[in-house]
Amino acid sequence: MTERTRIGRLAERGVTDMEQIRAILNEGVVCHVGFSVDGQPYVMPMAYGHEGGQLYLHGSVMSRLAKSLAEGIPVCVTVTLVDGLVLARSAFHHSMNYRCAVVLGRARELTTQEDKMKALRCITNHVVPNRWAEVRPPNAEEIAATTVLALPLDELSAKVRKGPPKDDAADMGLRVWAGVIPLRTVMGEPVADGDAASYFVMPAFLKSPDLK
């Protein structure tokens, strides 16, 4: 934790336990990547993966996003899980239950084929566990066409809100429904492409979905 990642307000929501932060990174499907170009911040959703103290991102070598990040500019990667809507008796105390991890730093472009492959495998398997072993791996051309970035998990923090609304004592008698509406991400019925459904082996992941 640094001065930049210190939780300012509502410090009781701050999480510094690395296991909890890792659990948030494990559960997220996309991250939101923030960076500035010519003084204008941009926030873009990206797939990601993490292992060995590194968070991996990738993009086409042609994309402005990947080009900008590869220059080693300061970046912020945020993973947010929205767990519920918190409905209080007063408008003021409405809130959300969430878990949010934030990583600050500078991304480094991976250059060797071996490093890039390892990172791409990590990203693929983060989104769909064990998927890498089931598909055709990238060839040299595809790897060359992909910018792969590593951001060290050095400067990071998390913020978590959970539990019921916190209404003022004076509002407890109001005839208003209050409580939490849980939200979660679920998978729908897989839609096979072309002949895939009839001929081929379902991914291990889909046989026992453990994503959500």
Minimum CB separation of residue 1 from a second copy in Å reads 15
Closest CA to 24 of 87, 97, 84, 98: 98
CB of 53 to a second copy, least distance (A): 20
Cα gap 168→173, rounded to integer Å: 10
On whether the CB atoms of residues 43 and 33 are closer than 8 A, the answer is: yes
Distance from C-alpha of 180 to C-alpha of 164, rounded to nearest angstrom: 6
Q: Which is nearer to a second copy, 26 or 200 (CB)?
A: 200
> Is residue 65 within 8 Å of residue 41, measured between CB atoms?
no
Using the minimum distance from each CB to a second copy, give the nearer residue, 23 or 90.
Answer: 90
| Cβ distance to a second copy smaller for residue 91 or 111 | 91
Identity of the residue, 14 or 138, whose beta carbon is nearer to a second copy in the bound complex:
138
CB of 52 to a second copy, least distance (A): 20
Supply the minimum distance, in Å, between the C-beta of residue 27 and a second copy. 13
Distances (CA, A) of 181 to 69, 100, 161, 167: 38, 18, 14, 16
